[in-house]
Amino acid sequence: MDAEAQTRFESWDNNKLAMTLFLLSEGTFFVFLIIAYVYYHSLSNTGVEAAKVLDPLKTGIYTIFLLSSSFTVWQSEKSLRRGKQRAFQTWLLVTIVLGAIFLFGQGSEYLHLYGENVTISRNIFGTSFFTLTGFHGLHVLLGLISLAVIFVLALTGEFAEKHSSAVEAIALYWHFVDWVWVVIFSVIYLWTLF
């Protein structure tokens, strides 16, 4: 009776299930920061300053790096399932590099804005912009650290088996970080074009 009653979730691995629940929680956290940005956009007309100081094209290019890392981490998982250790490690490394390039892009953008005297304390645009993108950047950084740990473990042959729920859970997290950025990029950068 219970084998039949098993739902989809019951067949999930613990780590993947826990990560999904964690991402549900994190997603809610970002929803509140995103709503705050949108709210101040209309309340205090922060879009004007966003259009003035942000560079959607440059950030858009860095965005492509981040989004393609979703593809590479998926390739990495696929290679592991097929038992191709070498390809698994290589795709993992590519993912880390792509993520690092994105983070570098964000760092240089922050430096540029700081030079223009756009800071978190200057006005409500700076406040909502740096909080939202900053928390996303922090999540990218944590993802990179996790991927790096996985990569080092992979080099030591930790994932000799064809299945690792740790890799799958971290990949899930990485996809989450990427797709949250799609929303943030749309709300902050693409909005300046209209």
C-beta separation of 128 from 40 below 8 A = yes
Instruction: Decide if residue 141 touches another protein (CB under 8 A).
Output: no
1: contact with another protein by CB under 8 A:
yes
The verdict on 14 binding another protein (CB under 8 A) reads yes
Helix 56-81 vs helix 85-115: crossing angle, to nearest 10: 160
- Shortest CA distance to 105 belongs to which of 146, 69, 155, 154? 69
Q: Is there binding between residue 142 and another protein (CB under 8 A)?
A: no
Decide: 49 and 113 in contact? Cβ < 8 Å.
Answer: no
> Judged by CB under 8 A, does residue 42 bind another protein?
no
Give residue for tokens 């892009």: 105
Size of the site for another protein (CB under 8 A): 35
| 114 touches another protein (CB under 8 A) | no
Nearer to another protein, 33 or 96 (CB): 33
Give the interface segment with another protein, choosing from 40-48, 63-71, 80-88, 175-183 (CB under 8 A): 40-48
Report the residue from 68, 75, 85, 123 that binds another protein according to the rule CB under 8 A.
123
Q: Does 133 bind another protein (CB under 8 A)?
A: no
Q: Which of 146, 147, 70, 136 is nearest to 103 (CA)?
A: 136
The CA distance from 92 to 189, in Å, is 29
47 binds another protein (CB under 8 A): no
In angstroms, what CA-CA distances link 142 with 101, 116, 177? 15, 28, 10
Neighbours of 48 (CB within 10 A): 12
Q: Does 46 bind another protein (CB under 8 A)?
A: yes
Positions in the binding site for another protein (CB under 8 A): 1-2, 5, 7, 9-10, 12, 14, 17-18, 21-22, 24-26, 28-29, 31-33, 36, 39-40, 43-44, 46, 120-121, 123-124, 126-128, 131, 135
